[in-house]
Amino acid sequence: MRKILTVLGVVALLLVGAYSLGFFDSEQPRAAAGGPPKVTVGQCATVSRVVNEPRFTPADCGSDQANVKVAKVLDQAWAPCPTGGAAYSTFTSTNTLCLMPNLVEGSCYGESRAAGLAKVPCGTAKAVKVVKVLGGGAACGEQRAVAYPEPAVTFCLEDSAG
C-alpha cells in the first residue's frame, strides 16, 4: 500500500515537470494558436513514459489507460491546489491543473514503469484494490482511505490479495 502511495507521489512530481516542459500529446486541443493545451475539469488522461519524456494524452475516463483525472483548473500559474486531503498532482503553465488518480471501484492498481500507476489484474503483487468510491467525508471502515476535497471523493483501498 505504501509503495502505491509513493508511486502516486512520484507521478505527481513527474506530471509537474511534464506539463511545465510541454511534454503533451500534439493532438490535444489548444486554447489558442501555440498556447497551452485546453483542459477541463473531469477530463481524464493517460500519463505515459513517466520515467523518460512524460506524455499527457487525453483519454476516455472509462479506458483502462486513463490513469489521471482533472479535479480542478485554476486560472493562475503556480496557484495552490485544494488542501485538506490527499495531495493532488499539479501541472503548471499559464494555469494550474490539479490532478487526482482515475481509480475505478472494483479495479486493482499497481506500479507501472511506463505510467507510474496502472490498472492491473487483482491479485498482482503489491497492488491495491479500490473497494469503494464514496462522496467526500465518508468513512471507509477498516480499509485505507485516500480522500480529495475537490471534487469531494474518497477512495477505499485494500491489498488486492485481500
Residue 122 belongs to domain spanning: 108-159
- Cα separations (Å) of 114 from 7, 65, 95, 107? 12, 11, 26, 19
**Is 44 found in the same domain as 90?**
yes
Q: Which of the listed residues 51, 77, 101 is the one where a domain comes to its end?
A: 101
Q: Say yes or no: 114 and 141 in one domain.
A: yes
Whether residue 35 sits in one domain with residue 20: yes
Residues 10 and 45 in one domain: yes
Q: Which residues pair with 150 in a beta bridge?
A: none
14-52: per-residue pLDDT in tens? 444 434 434 343 334 444 444 445 789 999 988 776 566
- The domain tally of the chain equals 2
> Are 63 and 97 part of one and the same domain?
yes
- State how far the Cα of 52 lies from the Cα of 159, in Å rounded to an integer: 29
Segment-wise mean pLDDT, segments of 10 residues, the chain, 162 residues: 51 42 39 58 81 74 90 88 89 79 94 81 92 86 91 93 68
Question: Global pTM?
Answer: 0.74
